[in-house]
Amino acid sequence: MTDPKPIRAEYSAHDSALVAIACAVSRIVPAALGLMPTTTVAANRAARLPLLRALIDDLEDLSTLIVFAETRRGTSWELIAMELGDVTPRQVADRFGPAVLRLHHAALRYWLIGDAGALRPVPPGMLLPAQHLDQVDDWVRHSPPSWLPGDVYSLPHRPMRDTVQPMGRGDLARALLAAAWALPHHEVELAPNPADRHRLQLGYATRLVAYWEEARDHEPPLPDHRKMRTYLSVATWYRDLVRNRHQPGRDSYATHRRQLARHLKVLTAHTATSTT
């Protein structure tokens, strides 16, 4: 089996969600306008109800994406509940938690192996945000409804390409940490069949090697850069282990597992200090 083609996500899960939110809004506004009683669509019951159904689905996507984006920023259920008002954190978690987790799994699986599998459908813009940036910007420039409050469009439009940023080293470290936690705890949800589970493990190992290769070659050298070769060596060993489905001796495996655990501590430090 060959390694999965390395895929460096262009945008973090948070920024991908922002693009997907923009896509949802660009669908919701025309649909809502189509339901105005003065339109020919609204006057036709056969056309009105399917439009309403699509609008409900898009609004559901929009609310889930907004909550997902907040959780990617580290916002707690308690704070989200406080902002929404009249709901408890438990109610918010029960309402959005399953959909947010499914979206997180879909984005993570796509980053690791390039497909979302059974976790589809995923809201447009979430998995391939770069393909939607120009579309969203074009819609905003040419479609602002004149009846919206003036302050909404009083400022110059900020292009989506300036609103979202490509993944930096800290984003990559956070994605690897998310994968390190999700693979042992949510492996079945991420990949229902054993072949896909192996692909996920290999995808994670491949991304880990790529991360340490980039860290080793970073200019200017990163703090503790002399240790990067050690981390890369252990990551390469782990990738080869997964690739060949080889089980080493117990002592060797335990030693490397301890070394891989050290990777997580270093990655955690990188998420706090890295912006590029």
Would you place residue 91 in the very low, low, confident or very high pLDDT band (cuts 50, 70, 90)? Answer: very high
Mean pLDDT of 78-99: 95
Which region among 10-24, 44-58, 153-167, 210-224 has the lowest average model confidence (pLDDT)?
153-167
pLDDT at 93 over 60: yes
pLDDT, tens digit (0-9, with 9 covering 90-100), for 243-257: 887 654 545 555 666
pTM: 0.82
pLDDT, tens digit (0-9, with 9 covering 90-100), for 145-165: 555 555 555 445 678 888 898
Mean pLDDT of 102-112: 92
Q: What is the DSSP string of the chain?
A: -PPPPP---SB-HHHHHHHHHHHHHHHHHHHHHHTSTTSHHHH-HHHHHHHHHHHHHHHHHHHHHHHHHHHHTT--HHHHHHHH-S--HHHHHHHHHHHHHHHHHHHHHHHHHS--GGG----TTSS-GGGGHHHHHHHHHH---TTS-GGGSSSPP--HHHHS-B--HHHHHHHHHHHHHHHHHSHHHH-SSHHHHHHHHHHHHHHHHHHHHHHHH-SSPPTTGGGHHHHHHHHHHHHHHHHHT----HHHHHHHHHHHHHHHHHHHHHHHH---
* The pLDDT of residue 5: 47
